[in-house]
Structure 1
């Protein structure tokens, strides 16, 4: 049985709208349901992995998760049709059964999913949308890693630990950013 296709349009980054309307996309790509699930699920998996403790990594809590969710929401303002569509799809999802925690936080599995997303983007996305998506996913992880709960504030930023730097470097490598 073939998976349903999810249409997606992309425009050239910085393309100005004409006459106060959004310009028609120059390129159209189609993502399969599995590809779309991968692209829309990856930011949440990154939040969980970035918030998970590990050797040399701090224990994180609610504030760090909220920082990740804020970073996901910030994608609504990106100059990328793909990133905005992924954010819209994330917020439109119905709550379903959560994936097993070990699947969400396993770093090897997460890095493999990032490499798979890069392959999908190479085949299907406009290069500007691909770059924006990959940078956005990396920024989600960075916001979680930098967030520290502060009394009276939801979160503040702090310098990265060496372990967090290694995590972000590995993630950036898997996303094709390094």
Structure 2
């Protein structure tokens, strides 16, 4: 099950994910549903000495989370549905979400959970989707405009995405 390109309409005949959560404990499911938000918050924080990313970066991250609704992966769609169901109108405090070290540790924990309980295609789609949330945020420049395609990311953003990819076992 590969994931759809963001913005594509869902495939015809695609059903809503209903039994996807059955293979996970409550703590595991919470980890999987909170991870995209953790990654978004960490990616939106400026690198030491770097420019503030601003609202546009947060919105880009939220758009990347929402793009998971169009995924071919039952798991990704179920996670997005749960994020929207649980967090509509509310947001977790930034302090609760932790920093980079915590986010990377959560990524590694999610990989372990996915290895035990997810279809390999769903696991790959979820991990790539989480990475895409961070990548969209990192593409937003200090002016609030995404960097054009082909323009290299700032070194701190590249290092962050590399570390995130490693923690998500995308290497």
Shorter-chain TM band = 0.7 to 0.9
Higher fraction of strand = 1
SS at match of 1:157: coil
Q: Give 1:54's match in structure 2, choosing from 47, 58, 67.
A: 47
TM-score between the two structures when normalised by the length of structure 1: 0.78
| Structure 1 residue ranges without an equivalent (≥5) | 1-12, 15-19
The equivalent of 1:111 in structure 2 is 104
Q: Give 2:37's match in structure 1, choosing from 36, 40, 44.
A: 44
TM-aligned CA deviation for residue 105 of structure 1: 4.1
Q: Give 1:162's match in structure 2, choosing from 155, 165, 170.
A: 155
Higher fraction of helix = 2
Query: Is 1:68 aligned to 2:61, yes or no?
Result: yes
Q: Give 2:92's match in structure 1, choosing from 88, 92, 98.
A: 98
TM-score between the two structures when normalised by the length of structure 2: 0.81
The equivalent of 1:35 in structure 2 is 28
Instruction: Decide whether the 8 Å contact of 1:63 with 1:149 is kept in 2.
Output: no
Look at both structures and tell me which one has the larger radius of gyration over its CA atoms. Answer: 1
Instruction: Decide whether the 8 Å contact of 1:57 with 1:161 is kept in 2.
Output: no
Instruction: Decide whether the 8 Å contact of 2:51 with 2:142 is kept in 1.
Output: no
**RMSD across aligned C-alpha pairs, in angstroms?**
2.4
Q: Which has the higher contact order (CA 8 A, sep 6+)?
A: 2
| Structure 2 residue ranges without an equivalent (≥5) | 3-11
Instruction: Decide whether the 8 Å contact of 2:140 with 2:147 is kept in 1.
Output: yes
